[in-house]
Amino acid sequence: MALLEVTGLNVAYASQGAERIWAVRDVDLSFEQGEFVGVVGESGCGKSTLGYALARLLRPPARTESGSIVFDGVDISTLDHEALRQHRRNGFALVLQSGMNALNPVRDVHHHFADVLRAHAAPHERWNRASIRERAAELLEGVGLDAGVIGRFPHELSGGMRQRVSIAIALSLEPKLVIFDEPTTALDVIVQRSVMSTIKNLQKGRGFTAILITHDLGDVLDSADRALVMYAGRIVEDSPTVELTRGEHHPYTEALLRCFADPRADEVMLADIPGAPPDLSLAIPGCSFAPRCSVAVPSCSTTRPVLAPLGGGRVSCQVRTGLVEGGSRG
Ligand SMILES: Nc1ncnc2c1ncn2[C@@H]1O[C@H](COP(=O)(O)OP(=O)(O)O)[C@@H](O)[C@H]1O
Ligand SMILES: [Mg+2]
C-alpha cells in the first residue's frame, strides 16, 4: 500500500466577487514510503497549493473542492481538526516553508520544540524542560547545528541556521512524510547546497517520504528519485529523475530542461516558449500547454490528455505517447 494516495484532487481559491481560481486540477498521485519526490514547475503553477492541500493545511480563500487524500490507510480529507491533530502525531505531513516566517520571532528555539512536542503529545507523554532539551539536542545535531542553539531567538540565527532549526522542529514528531516548500529559495547559493544536502541525508537516514517543491529543476535532478512536473494546476509528467536527462518527455518538461541547460537560465526562464500559462479561472477542455506547444495537433486543444507511459515514466501528452499522430516536431 502506498503511504499517500491522492485521487481526483481539485483545489480552488474563491475570492468574493471574483471567479474561482482552480490552482490544482484533477490530480491523481501516489507516494511510497521512503521516496524522495520533486515537484517542479514555474511560479504560479500550483505547487504550494498542492503541498498545503496534501498536508491539510490550506487556509481560506483556498479550499479543496473535491478529491480524496489517503494517508497510511486513512482518508484525511474528511477528518475534523482534532482527528487531524491526532493523525499528525502518527507521522502525517508537515510543510516547511523557506525563510523567516516559519519561526515565531518572539520565541526562542526551545519554545518552538516545546510547542510542537506538547501540542501533539500522546496522552501518556509528559514533556518537561529537560526532556525537551534532550530531544531538541539530538534533532539539532542531526541537522548539523550545535545543541546550544536551543537558547537562541530566530533573529540571532543566520538564514541557513533558521532553516535547519525549522527542519529539526518538523522532524521532532518523526513524520513519515515531510513536504519541503522551496526550502532553500531564500538562502544564498552556497548555503542552499549545504541545506539541500542535509535534507537529502536526513531523508536517506530516517527513511521518511520527502516531497520537495521547487521552481529549480537542478534541485530535483540533484536530490529527487522521482520528478513531478506541474503546469497550470495539472501534473503533466511523473518520471524517475534519472530518465529526465534522456529520451522524450512532455513538451513542457523538455522546455524546462532546455532552460536549465542554458547558462543564462535564471534570466531567460522559459523565455523561449512563446505565450503564457492559461488563466486559471477558466475551464481548460484539452491540454493546458497546447497553446504554447510546438508539437500540438488540433485535438490537443479539445481532448484532455491523461498520464500514459513514455520511456520509464508517464506523461500527459497524446502526441508524445502516440495516442494521436504527431504535429511538426520542434
Ligand atoms: N491567496 C490567493 N488568492 C487567490 N489566488 C491565489 C492565492 N494564492 C495563489 N493563488 C492562485 O493559485 C495559483 C497557484 O499558486 P501557488 O500554489 O502558490 O503556485 P506556486 O507554488 O507553483 O508558485 C496562482 O497562480 C494564483 O493564481
Ligand atoms: Mg509556491
CA of 323 to the centre of ligand 1 (A): 32
Q: Measuring from each residue's beta carbon to the nearest atom of ligand 1, which residues come in under 6 Å?
A: 13, 15, 21, 23, 41, 43-49, 61, 280
pLDDT tens string 304-326: 999 999 999 999 999 999 888 76
∠ CA 185-186-192, rounded to 5°:
60
CA of 47 to the centre of ligand 2 (A): 5
∠ CA 171-172-176, rounded to 5°:
50
- Average pLDDT for the chain: 92
- Nearest atom of ligand 1 to the alpha carbon of 51: 17
- Closest CA relative to residue 101, chosen from 60, 162, 189, 48: 162
The model's pTM: 0.94
CATH of domain 4-93+175-315: 3.40.50.300
pLDDT category of residue 275 using cuts at 50, 70 and 90: confident
Per-residue pLDDT, averaged over 97-103, amounts to 71
pLDDT tens string 32-46: 999 999 999 999 999
Given a cut of 80, whether residue 62 has pLDDT beyond it is yes
Domain locations in the chain?
A: 4-93+175-315
pLDDT of 268 reads 47
pLDDT tens string 243-271: 999 999 999 999 999 888 776 655 545 65
| Rounded Cα–Cα distance for residues 273 and 254 (Å) | 11
CA of 127 to the centre of ligand 2 (A): 34
pLDDT category of residue 120 using cuts at 50, 70 and 90: confident
Residue nearest to atom 18 of ligand 1 (CA): 48
The label of the residue with cell 523557506 reads 98
Could you list which residues have their CB under 5 Å from ion ligand 2? 48
pLDDT tens string 196-252: 999 999 999 999 999 999 999 999 999 999 999 999 999 999 999 999 999 999 999
